[in-house]
Amino acid sequence: MTVSPLSAMAFEDRMATTEFRVSGTPHIVVEGDSCRGCTTRACVIACPAGLFVPTFDGGILFNYEQCFECGTCYLVCNTAGAISWSYPEGGSGVVFRRT
Ligand code: SF4
Ligand code: SF4
């Protein structure tokens, strides 16, 4: 099996090649009140960028600025309305640079 140079890179090294063009408008909004009753916290484990952070009082802190736009959080969350997900507006979002 041939391993491409990109897949052989450590996660931290791959992140260093990633650029985020941050929009002033969040493309993902997390409804904190919905999260307080959540027992799975699936987003915390599933997000590859580690953007969901549980708080001591049962809430969730979320920062959209380094989002890969993979959609995993939206798929794993089983609480209706907790996550509003869309792509960033044109010209914004993640840019993978394979240099
Ligand atoms: S976003 Fe969804 S999975 Fe994550 S804590 Fe909130 S309700 Fe739970
Ligand atoms: S879309 Fe992917 S990277 Fe972005 S917050 Fe959701 S799981 Fe994390």
Domain that holds residue 28: 11-96
Q: Is residue 2 in some structural domain?
A: no
Q: Is residue 89 in some structural domain?
A: yes
Q: What is the pLDDT of residue 40?
A: 95
CA atoms of 16 and 39, how far apart (whole Å): 33
**Nearest ligand, CA of residue 42?**
1
Q: Is residue 1 in some structural domain?
A: no
Contact 76, 89 (CB under 8 A): no
Q: What is the pLDDT of residue 15?
A: 76
CA atoms of 43 and 83, how far apart (whole Å): 10
Contact 18, 94 (CB under 8 A): yes
Q: Give the chain's domain count.
A: 1
Q: What's 33's DSSP letter?
A: H
Probe residue for ligand 2, chosen from 15, 28, 51 as the CB with the greatest number of ligand atoms within 8 Å: 51
Ligand 1 within 6 A of 34 CB? Answer: yes
CA atoms of 23 and 83, how far apart (whole Å): 18
Tens digit of pLDDT per residue, the chain (99 long)?
455 555 667 777 777 788 999 999 999 999 988 999 899 999 999 999 999 999 988 899 999 999 999 999 999 999 999 999 999 999 999 998 766
Q: Is residue 6 in some structural domain?
A: no
